[in-house]
Structure 1
Amino acid sequence: MPGATNGGFGIYVHWPFCAAKCPYCDFNSHVRHEPADQVRFAAALERELSHFADLTKGKTVQSVFLGGGTPSLMEPATVERVLNAVSNLWSLDPDVEISMEANPTSVEAERFKGYRSAGVNRVSLGVQSLIDADLKMLGRLHDAQTARAAIEIARETFPRLSFDLIYARPGQTTGDWAAELKQAIALAADHLSLYQLTIEEGTPFFALHQAGKLKVPDPDLGAAFYELTQDVTAEAGLPAYEVSNHARPGAECRHNLVYWRYGDYVGTGPGAHGRLTVGPTRLATATERHPETWLENVERSGHGLVENMGLSEEEQGDEFLLMGLRLTEGIDLSRYEKLAHRSIDPRRLRDLLEHGMVEELGENRVRATREGFFVLDAVVADLAA
């Protein structure tokens, strides 16, 4: 498992702007009536990347991820400028993965060739549903036909493709989802991200849910949706490698593996988070969330950091468990001991093994079972206690 021992090194670039705010979304995304000044924002991203490059000298970049927001609102020239900055500031792995999130509207699909020329070699499409009525309910600006067309263009343009779907939607049955998922697998190249609809505080969906106007499946039905998802994808050759992510072997998202394997990553752009090992210290970084304020801060100070704090050994151990146990490859307990400077309580581990919440994968390696995934937070809390 390359990178599994140290997690690797990646760059996350946040583009915070969207054409519209989806009612279920709690990401740092913003709608502006006037288009963003892309030349100015690109210059600020270059400057902040340079700040982080000074902290991470000698590292080789395995992955770059352009996320948001809606990065496909960026002009190809803006993407090229950002990616050129990354390649000028760091060494790139010969097999570097450069991913970009995109919405499948027809206008953005036409830009795909420009993004490919700029260096993007993997695209992740925010499809969310293949049912028109549900797309409308989710506040998406595209219909199913547009999504299918964008998937086809993406398959022709990029070496690698993923797309997202949301399931356990209001009124959806497991039969509905099975049929839609099989359609998605027929369209997919080698990767799917499949998320249960969650109601996040502060979103319009949260207010509707509180008012009793939006119903989501109860926990038992939610579990049935999850079980079905695992079975259908595995049978089709796209097994889960993480709680919500499915891929043909070898097609896993390398950037997300950096997160889950507890690697180092730069987080640049408004509201981006990072984890960096600088000397003996592991830093948790976060930048200013408000785009224009971030822009002004970078222009004034060279970065938009509002958080840059060292993590304790206990915090590092907790984060390692929380991220690593999401993976079907599991975690190396000896790495946990090095990070946390303590061992897992053998009695707690034995109890979780006996109850079928975790299983051993050879010497010193464990992973959550399918049953354990349903109560992953509790499993992590038990091991960290």
Structure 2
Amino acid sequence: MPALPEGTPVPDDGALPGWVRPSPSGPDDAGRPFGVYVHVPFCSVRCGYCDFNTYTASELGGGANQAAYATTALREVDLARRVLDDAGLGSRPVSTVFFGGGTPTMLPAADLARILRGIDDTWGLAGGAEITTEANPDSVTPESLRLLADAGFTRVSFGMQSAVPHVLATLERTHDPRRVPDVVTWARDVGLDVSLDLIYGTPGESLADWRASLETVLGTGVDHVSAYALVVEPGTKMHAQVRRGELALPDEDDQAAKYELADDLLTEAGLGWYEVSNWARGPEHACRHNLAYWRGDDWWGIGPGAHSYVAGPARGDDAVAGIEGIEGVEGVDGIEHAGVRWWNVKHPRRYAALLESGSSPGAGRELLTPAEAQLERVLLGVRVREGLEVAALDPSRRAAVAGLVARGLVDGVAAVRGRVVLTRRGRLLADSVVRELTP
């Protein structure tokens, strides 16, 4: 698992910087969207490619057990309420809740429902709030899905990864791929929207294998699909296997061909891309929680290793457009800031102990300057289908848009209308586009 970022200390009480408080003369900061992420760090086994902050029962041993986790998470919900109230940001209803992991559905459905109920009791859920949980196909039953739907969950995102047994074996996924159509049916029968998550580029996966996975997904009739290129992170078991020559990674052309095949088949089936790695059958099926991340909304991350973010009082498209005009608020040593991000300690035992003692589980935080916030705005904004306003770019980089259009990376019609929207080739080279659009 990767180390946490470096940062400055989080106060013991978790208090946010004073400049986060809404400005009476500024935008309606107390009205901007607010989401909650709940990290559930438990898995039955550790997959060889995974570098998420997850633990099996044998790794944890005694202490940080699953049975006590809902109580621990609710302690952080209570801390979040106090911190946001003190910052003048506690009156907002929650627009989206996302339970991720790990495998959230390793907890009993009643525990997930209890955490959601605590969030609702604390802030209230906005009308039509999106409530998602991730799940493995082998971690749910018809009854558990019905209990989640009855508790208010609206979406489930299944980690399918592949429909091909030898690909799943390389990834060390333990579920039976034949179970996927069943779990999709169970979820839809109780009224849950369903997403299937796929990984392409696994060592040994052919283009035919990838096509078989896509066709299996489309055969289920789901309304949302995520497809991510496999990234082998240092420190994982798969990274060691690649380093020893036991596994061979595909080249960039193979990855590009698989992305293009996914885009072709999903688009033909009526699922349009709305973010580089995500397709949905219309905007109503897009994952609103993830869109909130990409648009720079506020969120609080509950759980060990979870990250949180709150924007400063000057934010939004109007504030970001022409970054030189942003009026920050003096934070530390006279530096203006535009947002604060913080993250919790990683180990569940330490996380639980801090909350039980009444302290924040925050391990560190960073205070974003307007320039840093602008960089993130471009990095995330170009990835979504709506794109980014050309006016939001640093003035020194706006001229680069014409060159990107000429090279087929940015849509020319959208650029004439004042927005940077990636073409499919641009999506394949999104990181290069960002480098050209940032100072």
- TM-score norm. by structure 2 comes to 0.80
- The answer as to 2:422 corresponding to 1:368 is yes
Deviates more, 1:228-237 or 1:308-317: 308-317
Q: Contact 1:67–1:100 (CA<8 Å) still a contact in 2? A: yes
Deviates more, 1:132-141 or 1:202-211: 132-141
In structure 2, the CA distance between the partners of 1:247 and 1:345, relative to structure 1 (3 Å rule), is: same
CA distance in 2, matches of 1:359, 1:107: 42
Residue in structure 2 matched with residue 3 of structure 1 by the alignment: none
CA distance in 2, matches of 1:318, 1:271: 24
CA distance in 1, matches of 2:123, 2:405: 43
Q: Matches of residues 348-359 of structure 1 in structure 2 within 5 Å?
A: 348-359=400-411
- The answer as to 2:380 corresponding to 1:323 is yes
Q: Contact 1:267–1:285 (CA<8 Å) still a contact in 2? A: no
Q: Please tell me the root mean square deviation across aligned C-alpha atoms, in Å.
A: 2.1
Which amino acid in the other structure matches residue 283 of structure 1? V
CA distance in 1, matches of 2:260, 2:301: 34
- TM-score norm. by structure 1 comes to 0.91
Q: Say which of 3, 6, 17 aligns to 2:42.
A: 17
Q: Any gaps of 5 or more consecutive residues in structure 1?
A: 1-5
Higher Rg of the two aligned structures: 2
Q: Contact 2:164–2:212 (CA<8 Å) still a contact in 1? A: no
CA distance in 1, matches of 2:120, 2:358: 23
CA offsets, 1:203-228, max 9 Å, x none?
11111111121112211121111111
Residue in structure 1 matched with residue 235 of structure 2 by the alignment: 202
CA distance in 1, matches of 2:208, 2:68: 49
- The answer as to 2:296 corresponding to 1:268 is no
The Cα shift of 1:106 comes to 5.8
Q: Matches of residues 66-77 of structure 1 in structure 2 within 5 Å?
A: 66-77=99-110
Deviates more, 1:127-136 or 1:31-40: 31-40
Q: Say which of 186, 190, 194 aligns to 1:157.
A: 190
- The answer as to 2:84 corresponding to 1:50 is no
The Cα shift of 1:348 comes to 2.0
Q: Contact 1:262–1:324 (CA<8 Å) still a contact in 2? A: no
Which amino acid in the other structure matches residue 80 of structure 2? F
Which amino acid in the other structure matches residue 272 of structure 2? P
In structure 2, the CA distance between the partners of 1:93 and 1:101, relative to structure 1 (3 Å rule), is: same
Residue in structure 1 matched with residue 205 of structure 2 by the alignment: 172
In structure 2, the CA distance between the partners of 1:350 and 1:283, relative to structure 1 (3 Å rule), is: same
CA distance in 2, matches of 1:78, 1:100: 13
Q: Matches of residues 305-316 of structure 1 in structure 2 within 5 Å?
A: 305-316=362-373
CA distance in 2, matches of 1:378, 1:229: 21
In structure 2, the CA distance between the partners of 1:344 and 1:289, relative to structure 1 (3 Å rule), is: farther
The Cα shift of 1:46 comes to 1.5
CA offsets, 1:57-111, max 9 Å, x none?
1223211000001100111221122111111221322110000001111655542
CA distance in 1, matches of 2:141, 2:245: 36
Residue in structure 1 matched with residue 349 of structure 2 by the alignment: 292
The Cα shift of 1:292 comes to 0.8
CA distance in 2, matches of 1:153, 1:183: 17
In structure 2, the CA distance between the partners of 1:86 and 1:344, relative to structure 1 (3 Å rule), is: farther
Secondary structure of 2:105's partner?
helix
CA distance in 2, matches of 1:272, 1:333: 32
CA distance in 2, matches of 1:38, 1:126: 21
Q: Say which of 288, 293, 303 aligns to 1:254.
A: 288
- The answer as to 2:185 corresponding to 1:133 is no
Which amino acid in the other structure matches residue 210 of structure 2? W
Secondary structure of 1:120's partner?
coil
| Percent of matched pairs sharing the same residue | 37
Which amino acid in the other structure matches residue 358 of structure 1? V
- The answer as to 2:116 corresponding to 1:116 is no
Q: Contact 1:102–1:108 (CA<8 Å) still a contact in 2? A: no
CA distance in 2, matches of 1:107, 1:180: 21
Aligned residues: 375
Which amino acid in the other structure matches residue 431 of structure 2? D
- The answer as to 2:311 corresponding to 1:277 is yes
Q: Say which of 187, 190, 207 aligns to 2:223.
A: 190
Q: Contact 1:7–1:262 (CA<8 Å) still a contact in 2? A: no
CA distance in 1, matches of 2:91, 2:143: 37
In structure 2, the CA distance between the partners of 1:26 and 1:314, relative to structure 1 (3 Å rule), is: same
CA offsets, 1:348-380, max 9 Å, x none?
222222222223526332122211222212211
In structure 2, the CA distance between the partners of 1:109 and 1:319, relative to structure 1 (3 Å rule), is: farther
Secondary structure of 1:28's partner?
coil
CA distance in 1, matches of 2:358, 2:433: 42
